[in-house]
Amino acid sequence: MGYLSNMKAVIPAAGLGTRFLPITKSIPKEMIPIIDRPMIHYIIDEAIQSGIHDIVLITAHGKESIQHYFTRSHELEDRLMKSGKEEWAKDIKRIGESCNIIPVIQDQPAGLGHAVGCARSVIGDETFAVLLGDDMIDTTPYPGVPACTKQLIDIYEKQNMSVVGVMEVPLQDVVKYGIVSGPTVSDRTFKVQSIVEKPSIKDAPGRHAIPGRYIVDPIIFKYISETKPGKNGEIQFTDSLFQLAMNQGLLAHEFIGDRYDTGDRIGYLDATLTFGLRRPELKSALIELMKKHLKD
């Protein structure tokens, strides 16, 4: 992969999951399944496909099930093997061996910037990736296109500058995202000169939104520590990124891939249907169910 071969990924997963209450009262949002795998499984798969195996999981008390999911379960593997379910056993083993989870507790939900800042002692002075735990970006429909995080790593290695993944959204949706703009550097890439977190339509600098993929230099921790709490007392990551853009520079790259906001109920259903229809053993039955409900 180049000189970022030992890169770590930070996945913030300490939030309350309020958009999925009441189930998130007892189950971490990140563990809600898309078919038979929790949504965070797909996020970590993207990191692995990008060459990243050390995952710094920013979590909270009561969310231990996320870490447990990615831990080897020798007893379960043995039972599956003895009962003739070898493929399931191999799949379970693969989950436990695929990555190294490094849990870090965020004691209070104080914003994305604060969550990323919690990883400082683990990351040290290395460039790292940030992947949000409820944003799935799927490149399967695009043959030959690498995972979204790998696309950003490739840009970083060419330009030697921090980079965020962006997608163009309808004007009415700019109020939901951090919006960036700036002059073009190369195909699908521009240098960030403006970042506004959830702007009004009239104040939006453009329509390129950041859905939750970043490759950042460790100096971001300095800017996080200097960022003052904003709305709801939260430290906004976009405020820290703006300081990074104004000082060291920041690129935005329009990635290739389909994004699903699985932290939103409609986005979650969209992802579930998409991935269900992609599974040969489920596709026919799922189509029949959809026809039945559409008829009703």
pTM, two decimals, is: 0.91
- Given a cut of 90, whether residue 259 has pLDDT beyond it is yes
Residue 3 has pLDDT above 70, yes or no: no
DSSP output for 107-173: SS---HHHHHHTTHHHHTTS-EEEE-TTEEEE-TTSTTPPPHHHHHHHHHHHH-S-EEEEEE--GGG
pLDDT-based confidence at 2, cuts 50/70/90? very low
Query: Position of tokens 């702007």?
Result: 199
Predicted pLDDT at 74: 86
Percent of the chain with pLDDT over 70: 98
Residue 18 pLDDT: 87
CATH match for 8-263 among 3.90.550.10, 1.10.540.10, 3.30.1300.10, 3.40.50.300? 3.90.550.10
Averaged pLDDT score across all residues of the chain: 91
Position with higher pLDDT, 77 vs 240: 240
Reported as a pLDDT band with limits 50, 70 and 90, residue 107 is confident
Kindly report, residue by residue over 213-238, the tens digit of the pLDDT: 999 999 999 999 999 887 778 899 99
Q: What is the pLDDT of residues 125-145, one digit of tens each?
A: 999 999 998 899 999 999 999
Q: What is the pLDDT of residue 268?
A: 94
Can you tell me the mean pLDDT for 180-187? 91
> What is the pLDDT, as a whole number, of residue 252?
97
Q: Write the CA distances from 93 to 32, 51, 70, 227, integer angstroms.
A: 20, 19, 9, 42
Q: Determine how many CB atoms are found less than 10 A away from the CB of residue 185.
A: 16
Helix, strand, or coil (residue 208): strand
Q: Is the pLDDT of residue 291 over 90?
A: yes
Break the chain into its structural domains and give their ranges: 8-263
